[in-house]
Amino acid sequence: MLKKYLSILAVFALFMMIAPLIALFRDSSGDKQKTENKGERVTVRDHKTGESFELYLKDYIKGVVAANIPAVYEPETLKAQAAASYTYAVRHINSDTALSTDPAEHQAYIPDNELKSIYGENYSEYKKRISEATDAVFGEILLYQNEPIAAAYFAFSNGKTESAANVWGQDIPYLIPADSPHDINAPNYQITVSISAEEVLARLTESDSELVMPVYKTDWFKIAERSDSGYVTKVAVGNKTMTGIQIRTMFDLKSTDFEIVSEDDQFLFTTKGSGHAVGLSQHGANEMAKEGKTYTEILKHYYTGIEISSQ
């Protein structure tokens, strides 16, 4: 059962890379015409083919939920994800930003025909779980000062979520640190990856041609600063200073809570958590749901000071 659970998580971990939320932070305004109970029809660009397709907003949200969170999670967790995904999408639509299936731009999305191959014999059950959760909260939007929020979410934290200011350089009052203690028990909470010193040097010098590294490899990296939540914000690298996000991106690390150790001709990067750590922790939300918390309680825990309204 554990292997099956871990394999499901692994599929969805592919979609949980850090996403630049530039368009997400634009001001949103305007109303859209509703069609029946599925919402408006929206246009989505398939980043793999470059072609666009249309579908009802509710069906789009179901594909987003399926792409971004394991269907085996608790119903209240799936509802929280659906409400966050809906809010995320509406914010883009209201700011006239085209939707895309590229998780590096917007939200990952999986069409129904691909879900059949991913879910296999569990397709009917998992599809039903996602559909019921989305149907239950469709039209409920997360607001801060009467505006749809930038509803960021990620896999799991180091035990505490991070401030948006430390990740995207912008203070956002509802995206501030929140305790998420259950995350430390998530599968693969702490992992170590090994990268050769030669490869490390190649990636570093490619990023900055003026970088000068010390003779001894043990002096190549020094963590200079961490945020209040424990994530690395500054790293001394040779004669330069880099951000934790730069290091995470450069070496494809799971999070910015990391340690770096030189061992023989290798560097060991040990991380805690998975994702950018801002907003809703999906694993933390699921553990809260197991304890009996509702989706509204979960959302208000991770998004500070928000209101939930039905459109």
Euclidean distance between CA atoms 261 and 183, whole angstroms:
24
Q: How many CB atoms lie within 10 A of CB 291?
A: 9
At residue 96, the pLDDT reads 72
In angstroms, what CA-CA distances link 239 with 118, 210, 216, 219, 223?
Answer: 47, 9, 13, 11, 13
Euclidean distance between CA atoms 106 and 93, whole angstroms:
11
At residue 311, the pLDDT reads 74
The answer for residues whose C-beta is within 8 angstroms of residue 304's C-beta and 6 or more apart is 173, 174, 175, 176, 178
> At residue 176, what are phi and psi to the nearest 5 degrees?
-120, 165
At residue 104, the pLDDT reads 84
**What dihedral angle (degrees, nearest 10) is formed by the CA atoms of 61, 63, 68, 69?**
90
Mind spelling out the 3-state secondary structure of the chain? Answer: CHHHHHHHHHHHHCCCCCCCCCHHHCCCCCCCCCCCCCCCEEEEECCCCCCEEEEEHHHHHHHHHHHHCCCCCCHHHHHHHHHHHHHHHHHHHHCCCCEECCCCCCCCCCCHHHHHHHHHHHHHHHHHHHHHHHHHHCCEEEEECCEECCCCEECECCCECCCHHHHHCCCCCCCCCCECHHHHHCCCCEEEEEEEHHHHHHHHHHHCCCCCCCCCHHHCEEEEEECCCCCEEEEEECCEEEEHHHHHHHCCCCCCCEEEEEECCEEEEEEECECCCCCEEHHHHHHHHHCCCCHHHHHHHHCCCCEEEEC
At residue 38, the pLDDT reads 79
At residue 97, the pLDDT reads 75
Residue 164 and residue 154 in contact, taking contact as beta carbons nearer than 8 Å: no
Residue-level pLDDT, tens digit, the chain, 311 residues: 444 444 444 444 444 443 434 344 444 444 444 444 778 899 999 999 999 999 999 999 999 999 999 999 999 999 999 999 999 999 999 887 789 999 988 899 999 999 999 999 999 999 999 999 999 999 999 999 999 999 999 999 999 999 999 999 999 999 999 999 999 999 999 999 999 999 999 999 999 989 999 999 999 999 999 999 999 999 999 999 999 999 999 999 999 999 999 999 999 999 999 999 999 999 999 999 999 999 999 999 999 999 999 97
Residue 100 and residue 45 in contact, taking contact as beta carbons nearer than 8 Å: yes
Residue 80 and residue 133 in contact, taking contact as beta carbons nearer than 8 Å: no
Structure tokens at 145: 């000062």
At residue 37, the pLDDT reads 73
At residue 243, the pLDDT reads 97
Task: Scan for tokens 């190549």, then name that residue.
Answer: 220
